[in-house]
Amino acid sequence: DADVTQTPRNRITKTGKRIMLECSQTKGHDRMYWYRQDPGLGLRLIYYSFDVKDINKGEISDGYSVSRQAQAKFSLSLESAIPNQTALYFCATSDEFQETQYFGPGTRLLVL
Amino acid sequence: SQKIEQNSEALNIQEGKTATLTCNYTNYSPAYLQWYRQDPGRGPVFLLLIRENEKEKRKERLKVTFDTTLKQSLFHITASQPADSATYLCALETAGNQFYFGTGTSLTVIP
């Protein structure tokens, strides 16, 4: 969905490196989410934010941090990447009624 | 523990038939249940939502049922087409405004 963009789309990094994944949206939604997707485990929620001043941990937040720089921008950081953080990462947005989530195209991350 | 289970095996059906996908959950109290479609290398795309007080919802060739007693949702695609081939994800939204996704079912519609 072009309304939700993620950068980079692909990234290879080494163990111990800091990496930031960025998400931008033009839908005007207050709510934004970060998920990771692993084969056989499905999508799992890492962090979510209901507005610029509201950040919440999801199911698997350990090893990750986030920053909500503006309504339209929500970044995910891996302070010290490890191989088991290799996954497909998705950003999503929703409005206050949350009847649907709109997903970005994903970032494929490989940690060596 | 909390769990969301979808058909563990890939589903292959003939074009024109009805595909039925299952989503079972345990230890959740969902306010909503949603179905998404995901194509390879793409993000999930929303298809349908059904609320806890609704039994059935339809949209074109799609139908979703929701049985909170059985803790199960069924997703039907009637008159299936090869273009319906994708992975389908169910997702629960709890009263705490968090989303929990199943692992997905891969559907292939054979011409």
At B99 the pLDDT is: 84
Residue B7 confidence (pLDDT) above 90? no
Contact A40 B97 (CB under 8 A): no
pLDDT tens sequence across B51-108: 988 989 999 999 999 998 999 999 999 999 999 999 999 999 877 777 889 999 999 9
Residue B44 confidence (pLDDT) above 60? yes
Residue A22 confidence (pLDDT) above 70? yes
Residue A105 confidence (pLDDT) above 70? yes
pLDDT tens sequence across A23-69: 999 999 999 999 999 987 889 999 999 999 999 999 899 999 999 99
Residue B101's CB is within 10 A of a number of other CB atoms, namely 23
CA distance B72 to chain A (A): 18
Burial class (CB in 10 A: 0-12, 13-18, 19+), A67: middle
Strand partners, B43: none
The H-or-E segment that residue A59 falls in is: none
* A50 SS3 class: strand
Between A79 and B7, where is the model more confident? A79
At B63 the pLDDT is: 97
* A82 SS3 class: coil
* Confidence bin at B1 (pLDDT 50/70/90): low
Alpha carbons A46 and A75: distance in angstroms, whole number: 12
Whether the CB-CB separation of B32 and B101 falls below 8 Å is answered with: no
Residues 19-38 of A with CB under 8 A from B: 33, 35
At A98 the pLDDT is: 66
Q: Let me know the angle formed at the C-alpha of B77 by B75 and B81, rounded to the nearest 5 degrees.
A: 150
Average pLDDT of span B5-34: 90
SS3 string, chain B, reads CCEEEECCCCEEEECCCCEEEEEEEECCCEEEEEEEEECCCCCCEEEEEEECCCCEEEECCEEEEEECCCCEEEEEECCCCHHHCEEEEEEEEECCCCEEECCCEEEEEEC
* Confidence bin at B31 (pLDDT 50/70/90): confident
At A39 the pLDDT is: 84
Which tokens sit at A100? Answer: 């649907």
CA distance B79 to chain A (A): 25
Which tokens sit at A45? Answer: 């929620």
